[in-house]
Amino acid sequence: MPARSISIGMLSAAALLGVVAGRTAHADPAPDMTASKPAKALHWLDPITFAPERILPEPPAIGSVEERAEMAEILAFAKLTPADRKAQALADGEDETPHAFNGATGRDLAALPATAHLLAEINEDIEALADTAKRHFHRARPYAIDAALAHCGNGKAGGKGADRSYPSGHSTFAWSTAWVLGDLMPGRRAAIFARAEDFGYSRQICAVHFTSDIEAGHVLGVLAAQALLADPRLAHDIAAARAELAKP
């Protein structure tokens, strides 16, 4: 995979230090109808602690050196990615559910009631968290900047809203789910994390997200999952899912 222009280390440092100063301004893309819908509310996570401007740095500005490098990556993926991997990317885009991790876990997660319940509870907040961040940053997607760029269409895989690129909701979902499942199934952690990374990579192949969008989703998903796993209100549900997954 090509080198990432904004590393996990850089984003993690920004998240931990709450860096808000000295960020680059970015241009506003055309407004999107998604923004007119009511914002989703957090149920478990603290909205102040997880305010987007406290967790993530600004994305690269439109026309900046960083963004041009990221666009070059997208164009390279379009030329070099084989057809079967593009098909997987499209399938991943349409499957923003725990089903995406069935192979990595070796289990049908939807058939496990305690696990499915816990993941649904967590994902409700993850969706709200990503939605809030997207509304805050309203970064243009790659295909909104380059109208000639082929991407995964206008459905779920193609991304909802041309100005909702940062952070990637799919990456936020993937890494929050992976972090929880990795905690519950430590023996499967390496495979689960590899699946989360590949799931995020699919969004770049689909040309609906830049590298920094994927990395921001990684950071946001992991930080949220860590907080949710430590929340005493979820302790009973976490224990029930852990016991369920421990069964053969």
119-131 residue pLDDT tens: 999 999 999 999 9
In a domain, 48, yes or no: no
Residue 201 lies in a domain: yes
Kindly tell me if the per-residue pLDDT of 6 is higher than 50: no
Question: What is the spatial distance between Cα 47 and Cα 155, in angstroms, rounded to a whole number?
Answer: 29
pLDDT exceeds cutoff 60 at 10: no
Q: Is the pLDDT confidence value at 142 over 50?
A: yes
**What percent of the chain clears pLDDT 70, i.e. is strictly above it?**
83
**Can you give the residue range of the structural domain that contains 122?**
83-248
| Residue 14 within any structural domain of the chain | no
Are 200 and 175 in contact by the 8 Å Cβ rule? The answer is yes
Supply the pLDDT for residue 154. Answer: 63
Please tell me the pTM assigned to this model.
Answer: 0.85
Question: Is residue 47 domain-resident?
Answer: no
Give the C-alpha separation, 92 to 237, whole Å.
27
Residue 39: predicted pLDDT: 81
HEC per residue, 219-236: HHHHHHHHHHHCCHHHHH
Among residues 35, 45, 216, the alpha carbon closest in space to that of 135 is found at 35
Please state the domain count of the chain: 1
| Domain CATH number, residue 240 | 1.20.144.10
Categorize the per-residue pLDDT at 23 as very low, low, confident or very high, splitting at 50, 70 and 90.
very low
Smallest CA-to-CA distance from 163 within 124, 208, 211, 125 is with 208
